A and B are shown apart, each in its own frame.
Chain A
């Protein structure tokens, strides 16, 4: 077992060393060595996952006395398979994609190092190993994004990414320092066991230690997963090679969700952190998704789509659905990786033919032409509101009868309901030859997605957190009190229904003055969105101001 766990992390590093030493002699063979090594890593990782699924108890293997501990547990084995799988696809894609680029062997060395470091990060069983891997990922990403040494733009954006990542490293180091000082060990299992025994044993400035550590870990996760205000680097990393974009959006940026899951035994003893995590995730999801719609560059749009998805992932952690966040990051990684690797081909073929059929969907989505003839709105409103609720409740009753006692579950159902209602609402506005067929198909696909999602996420829950009381504890940690919760749900419901009513009536009454006013509103909103709320400009100015201030200080102090 130990040899297997160590080999999963070691093989990519060995490959990197081989390619670095013999890359010049191997030429194209360097890529074959690298691909072969990552394929072997994937097989080994799959073997560890099979052992975990088979019920082998979690274990840890120390490579040194106090740190260098690698964990064998459900989370690490699952993540190892995901990382090595995505990395293998990226490696294979890069063999031909990067063939004409200078530094071909160097690229594979960096890819191997990144894969190995990611694998060490997910298996890290102590704080030092985790910190080292967490920090190194930022540095390696900098060199991968700036692989084209001729491009100053690529390096500028790569450095922006590194600075944000380093900003996120700071709270993690502080959290590690607090934990080490309190418990006198770097070992995560020992620390988690001690916290589980007496969560209130230590405090920082009067605040219980788990609250402080969880808040710091959440901050580190926010920076890594491009949460709002720490997101500006993400859409600008497109200057890097496409395989790196795919690896980053499919794997690296998801690390925030992983980190929160790794520290789940700390989060379970908190009372005030997870609601904050939920709010940050919610804002990020809304802003990321909105910004995605205002971009006309496909890769930048995908970047903001990732930001929105990361918001959802963090939001899921914020409601206590930790395992769901892992499922989300895996599914997002797979589809986003596919989109990035396919983006180049899509752009190329779109230059010849956009391939969009001029049918009902096209006229609705692209030309924004709503249906002329509609069904009775009361009937549609009833279907819109009732059908998603029925599907969601039925799906959740399949996995748990008492699911609705958890606030987090209700929030997730609420989001599912809004999504489903929005889907049917959109269908209502479409002009279709066979309207009922479209509605039935929409409802059917929605049901498939919800049932599948519910069942799979429940399976993840059982695999990652087999202890039912621990799962309940996570949901309890996300509770915000019945009154606040009911008020929040009521407020959000009223906002959404008001939004629908506004949309409906704005299309009914088409007065000249109203159209002009609405047009101005939309133009302003669009301008703000397309300029990314000027946050990037603000940060750029801030960075330049700091550099100018440092120069003035140097002059004033006569350069000594």
Chain B
């Protein structure tokens, strides 16, 4: 694969420092559905580009850069309280982990599903963040908290979506990460350890977010409406479909 081709793919399957392009763009888009679409489409564009470029070997250095970049964004995400920015960082971190699988010649169709498995929970999180913003003016951990008592459906949706985003079993991210680690470990065990640490940092960031949003006395929460049953049902149904899809995800399970 030639250098220009690699550069173009590296924008959409973010390699540091090109990852700043996605994060800068993501921060500028204010509309939640548009953000969700970007999250769903961005890595797919990268995979399409990779597919149409002349075939070639992905260098070991590129894989190492991708994994370390993923670790960097996961590490940076532990300090974040803004849900939107956290979503962007986790997306950057997750998509970069597709590079080890690309280097091991995994089927592009399988990788599209992995990318979708990473993106769908994050797209849902964008919608949850929008719901929080409409009620409190900001989707920011630690600003109000206690939603579990006052807005149980919104808190439940937040918790489930964050769990899916940090690749808890049986969501697709879990299977995708296991597959990436399995492909990496025989030749570059230290990269597999880095992927594992990245996963750990996602959890750390995720629970910090949850603590700031759903935990607390809830006294600061103004009287606002909870999610409707239909909205809550949408989140639960989408996540249930994700789990159903994950159980048939190729790679680990095929």
Contact = CB atoms under 8 A, between A and B. Distances in A.
B76 A553 contact: yes
B207 interface: yes
Given A139-B163, A167-B200, A551-B79, A102 B20 contact: no
B168 A150 contact: no
Given A149-B216, A150-B217, A559 B27 contact: yes
A102 B211 contact: no
A132 B57 CA distance: 33
Among A149, A163, A557, residue most surrounded by chain B Cβ atoms (within 10 Å): A149
B245 interface: no
Interface stretch (A26-34, A36-44, A59-67): A59-67
Interface string A96-123: 0000001000000000000000000000
B163 A550 contact: no
B192 interface: yes
A128 B79 contact: no
Contacts of B75: 546, 550, 553
A159 B170 contact: no
B181 A177 contact: yes
B211 to A, nearest CB: 5
Interface in B65-107: 72, 75-80, 85
A133 B174 CA distance: 12
B174 A152 contact: no
B186 interface: yes
A156 B211 contact: yes
B203 A170 contact: no
Contact of B193 (A146, A162, A170): A170
B225 interface: no
Contact of A146 (B79, B182, B196, B215): B215
Given A135-B174, A146-B215, A174 B196 contact: yes
A149 B79 contact: no
Interface in B112-163: 146, 148-149, 155, 159, 163
A551 B79 CA distance: 5
Contact of B196 (A142, A170, A559): A170
Interface residues of B, number: 50
Nearest to A553: B76
B77 to A, nearest CB: 8
A178 interface: yes
Given A135-B169, A139-B163, A155-B211, A547 B203 contact: no
A66 B174 contact: no
A2 interface: no
Contacts of A180: 182
Contact of A560 (B27, B80, B199): B27
Given A152-B215, A553-B75, A163 B200 contact: yes
B203 A177 contact: no
Contacts of A67: 252-253
Nearest to A180: B182
A551 B20 CA distance: 17
Contacts of B204: 163, 166
Interface in A491-542: none
Interface string A160-181: 0011001101100110111011
Interface string B167-207: 01110001100100110111001001100110110011001
A554 interface: yes
B170 to A, nearest CB: 6
Contact of A150 (B192, B200, B203, B216): B216
B254 interface: yes
B253 A547 contact: no
Contacts of B20: 557, 560
Nearest to A182: B186
Nearest to A178: B185
Interface in A375-424: none
Interface residues of A, number: 48
A149 B178 contact: no
A136 B159 CA distance: 14
B148 A149 contact: yes
A468 interface: no
Nearest to B75: A550
Interface string A56-100: 000000001111000000000000000000000000000000000
Interface in A350-374: none
Among A64, A65, A173, A181, residue most surrounded by chain B Cβ atoms (within 10 Å): A173
A131 interface: yes
A149 B146 contact: yes
Given A167-B200, A550-B76, A560-B20, A102 B149 contact: yes
A205 interface: yes
Contacts of A162: 203, 207
A410 to B, nearest CB: 37
A204 interface: yes
A67 B249 CA distance: 12
A131 B184 CA distance: 18
B113 to A, nearest CB: 16
B189 A170 contact: no
Contacts of A65: 253-254
Among A135, A550, A557, residue most surrounded by chain B Cβ atoms (within 10 Å): A550
A476 B167 CA distance: 40
A210 B214 CA distance: 44
A547 to B, nearest CB: 5
B24 A132 contact: no
A156 B24 CA distance: 32
Nearest to A212: B189
Interface string B230-254: 0000000000000000010000111
A131 B197 CA distance: 16
A163 B211 contact: no
A149 B182 contact: no
B76 A152 contact: no
- Nearest 10 A-B pairs (CB), nearest first? A550-B79, A132-B169, A170-B196, A560-B23, A177-B185, A149-B148, A551-B79, A177-B182, A560-B20, A159-B207
Given A136-B169, A169-B200, A557-B20, 16 more contacts: A64-B247, A128-B253, A132-B174, A146-B215, A149-B215, A150-B218, A159-B207, A163-B204, A170-B196, A177-B178, A177-B182, A547-B79, A553-B76, A557-B76, A559-B23, A559-B27
25 contacts: A66-B254, A67-B253, A128-B178, A133-B169, A139-B168, A142-B207, A149-B148, A149-B149, A150-B217, A155-B211, A163-B204, A166-B200, A166-B204, A173-B196, A174-B185, A174-B196, A177-B181, A177-B192, A180-B182, A181-B185, A546-B75, A546-B78, A550-B75, A550-B77, A560-B27
Interface of A: 64-67, 102, 128, 131-133, 135-136, 139, 142-143, 146, 149-152, 155-156, 159, 162-163, 166-167, 169-170, 173-174, 176-178, 180-181, 186, 204-205, 546-548, 550-551, 553-554, 557, 559-560
